[in-house]
Chain A
C-alpha cells in the first residue's frame, strides 16, 4: 500500500517551502502512512470510463466588461507588507549572489 519514507516527506516539505523540524518530519511520516491508505480508496471506483470533475459549475471564460474601476492606492496595497520601499514590496535576496 501507499507509504512515504522520511526522505520523501522531507522532499515534500522542501517543495512546499516549509522548513520542518526532525520531530515534525517523523510525525508526518507516520501520519501519512495512515492517511494515504485511507484516501487511496478513491482508486477502487475511479475507473477509466468515469470522467473527472474539477469544479461543481461547468463554467468557461467568464469575463466582465472592460471598464476602469477604482482600485487600491499604493499605500493601501502596501499597508500589510512586512517591508516596503519606494512604493514597492521589499523582498529578501532572490538571486543566488556571492555574499
Chain B
C-alpha cells in the first residue's frame, strides 16, 4: 500500500478499500522500520497524525465533500510552522520551540484533510545542499545510505524515496526542493515566486524563498500544488491571480507543438557523463512525443552562483537577526548582571552552526557601508541580467530544460570542508530563483557509472507553472513505458517490512 502513488491512495480511500487511519498507520510503521537508517524525520507526530486521519475518515463517513488528497499522509519540512508541533529549522537555536500558530501552507493542508506525519530534516535554516548542516545530524539517501539526500530539503525527499510518505512539502531558495528531488529519484516543484504563501515559513532569503510540493509522480506533485497554492492576504508578496491549472496539465501531458529550449550554458563541462547521457535521452523522448527541441542561450547564468551567494547571505543576515534570545528559542548566559548584548552574542555563538555563521558574516560584509555597491548592489544587477536572459529565451521557447544538478549524490562528508565545492551543486537551479519563475525536477534514469538517480529540470515562465507539468508528465510517461516500472523500484529495499 505504501508504494502506491498518492493519487492511488486517494482512490482507495474514496472507494472504501482502505481508511486514512490504516494508511497513516502503515506509514508510521514504515517510519519506525526504516527511519533509524534514513533519518528523514526530526519529529514524528504519531498522535496528531492518527487524529487527523480519524477526522478525515469521519468526514468521509458523514458524506462530506472532500478534497482529492483528503486522508493521504504527508511529511512537512521543518521550516514551516505547525501549531504546537516542534519546529527547529534544523537549528539548535530553536530546539524545543512549539509555534503558537499554523503557517498558511499547514492551514491549507489541514483544510484539505491531508494528514501531517511529522517534520523532516534539513540543512540549518535551509542553508546547504546535503542536510549535513542540520544540527541534528545528516539524512541518508535511501539509494545509498553513505550518500547525501540533497539539501536543504533532504529529509522531505528521502522520506518520499524511502516510502515513509507519499507527499512532502519543501522550500526552495536556490534549489532546495529540486536538487534533493534529483538525487533521490523523486519529483519536486518550486512554483512561481508568490504562487504559494510564505506566511509561517521561517525566512532565509525573503526575495528567493518559495515553498512547494514534492512527491513520487508528476500528478501527485500537481495535486499537492493545487492544495497549497493561491493568494494569501497574510503574505504581501503572494500573487493575487488564479492558480495555474497544474493538475489538468499533469493529467494531459500533451507536448505536441511545444518548444523546449535546451540551455546551452547548463550542460557540458562540469556535468557528469551519466547525467548528460540521461538528459540527452530524455530530450529524444520529448521529441518523439511531439515537442520541438531548440537551443537557447543564457550568457549571464554563469554569474548566477556568485550573485546568489551575495543576495541570499545578505537577506539572511537581516532575517536571522530575529534570533536574539529574547522572544523565543535558546537563551544562553542570562546570569545576574549579564547585558542583553552579551546574552545575544553567546546565544548566537552556541545556537548557530558553522554554515549559518559563515553566511551571516558574509551578508553583513556585503551590506556594509563601503562594500554595498561592489557586492550586494552588483549582485542585484546580475539578477536583472539573468531575468533578461530568461525573457529572451522564453521568446523562443515555451519551457527551458537542463540537468537539475551537475552530478549524482555525493558521499556524506565529501564536501563539508569546501564551501565553494558545495555551492556548485546549485549551479543549474539558482537562476530560477533569481528570476522568480517556476522549476521542476523529475527523475530521468540512473547514471550508468554509479547507478544513482539523475534529475531533469524544467523551467517555466512566471505563473505558467502548468507548462512544466505538461512536459514533466509527458517525459514521465515515456520513461515509464521504456522502464516498465517507476525508477524507485530499482532502489534498495532498506530491509523494512514493505
Q: Are B306 and A42 in contact (CB under 8 A)?
A: yes
Output the least CB separation between B54 and chain A (Å): 26
Question: CB-nearest residue of chain A relative to B206?
Answer: A55
Q: A19-B346, A96-B339 are in contact. Are A42 and B436 (CB under 8 A)?
A: no
Q: Are B334 and A53 in contact (CB under 8 A)?
A: no
Give the residues from 325 to 372 in chain B that come closer than 8 angstroms, CB to CB, to chain A: 325-331, 334, 337-346, 348-349, 352, 354, 357-358, 360-362, 364-366, 368
User: In the complex the two chains form, what is the Cα distance from A43 to B346 in whole Å?
Assistant: 36
Q: Are A39 and B358 in contact (CB under 8 A)?
A: no
- Of B194, B303, B309, the residue contacting A44 (CB under 8 A) is B303
Q: A17-B345, A83-B331 are in contact. Are A28 and B380 (CB under 8 A)?
A: no
Give the residues from 290 to 328 in chain B that come closer than 8 angstroms, CB to CB, to chain A: 300, 303, 305-307, 309-310, 317, 321, 324-328
Residues of A within 8 A of B385 (CB): 45, 50
B41 at the A interface (CB under 8 A): no
Q: Are B379 and A42 in contact (CB under 8 A)?
A: yes
Question: On chain B, which size bracket covers the interface?
Answer: 35 or more
Give the residues from 87 to 146 in chain B that come closer than 8 angstroms, CB to CB, to chain A: 97-101
- Size of the A side of the interface (Cβ < 8 Å), in residues, is 54
Q: A42-B306, A42-B310, A44-B303 are in contact. Are A53 and B194 (CB under 8 A)?
A: no
User: In the complex the two chains form, what is the Cα distance from A52 to B385 in whole Å?
Assistant: 9
Residues of A within 8 A of B307 (CB): 39, 42
- Of B354, B381, B436, the residue contacting A56 (CB under 8 A) is B436
User: In the complex the two chains form, what is the Cα distance from A50 to B321 in whole Å?
Assistant: 31
Give the residues from 7 to 60 in chain A that come closer than 8 angstroms, CB to CB, to chain B: 9, 12-13, 15-21, 24, 28, 31-32, 34-36, 38-47, 50-57, 59
Q: Are A39 and B309 in contact (CB under 8 A)?
A: yes
Q: Are B361 and A13 in contact (CB under 8 A)?
A: yes
Q: Are B374 and A57 in contact (CB under 8 A)?
A: no
User: In the complex the two chains form, what is the Cα distance from A61 to B328 in whole Å?
Assistant: 30
Question: CB-nearest residue of chain A relative to B373?
Answer: A46
Residues of B within 8 A of A50 (CB): 381, 384-385
Chain-A contact segment, one of B233-241, B253-261, B487-495: B233-241
User: In the complex the two chains form, what is the Cα distance from A36 to B378 in whole Å?
Assistant: 13
User: In the complex the two chains form, what is the Cα distance from A15 to B364 in whole Å?
Assistant: 8
User: In the complex the two chains form, what is the Cα distance from A13 to B368 in whole Å?
Assistant: 13
Q: A51-B381, A83-B334 are in contact. Are A43 and B99 (CB under 8 A)?
A: no
User: In the complex the two chains form, what is the Cα distance from A19 to B16 in whole Å?
Assistant: 59
Give the residues from 201 to 257 in chain B that come closer than 8 angstroms, CB to CB, to chain A: 207, 233, 236-237, 239
- Of B305, B317, B325, B358, the residue contacting A28 (CB under 8 A) is B358
Residues of A within 8 A of B419 (CB): 31, 34-35
Residues of A within 8 A of B97 (CB): 80
A87 at the B interface (CB under 8 A): no
Question: CB-nearest residue of chain A relative to B207?
Answer: A55
Q: Are A81 and B328 in contact (CB under 8 A)?
A: yes
B184 at the A interface (CB under 8 A): no
Residues of A within 8 A of B328 (CB): 80-82
Residues of B within 8 A of A40 (CB): 306, 374-375
User: In the complex the two chains form, what is the Cα distance from A47 to B341 in whole Å?
Assistant: 40
A76 at the B interface (CB under 8 A): yes
Residues of B within 8 A of A64 (CB): 233
Q: Are B382 and A45 in contact (CB under 8 A)?
A: yes
User: In the complex the two chains form, what is the Cα distance from A57 to B193 in whole Å?
Assistant: 8
B383 at the A interface (CB under 8 A): yes
Residues of A within 8 A of B237 (CB): 55, 57, 59, 62
Interface residues of B (CB under 8 A from A): 97-101, 193-194, 207, 233, 236-237, 239, 300, 303, 305-307, 309-310, 317, 321, 324-331, 334, 337-346, 348-349, 352, 354, 357-358, 360-362, 364-366, 368, 374-375, 377-385, 387, 419-420, 434-436, 462
Q: Which 3 pairs, one residue from A and one from B, show the smallest C-beta to C-beta distance?
A: A56-B436, A80-B328, A46-B378
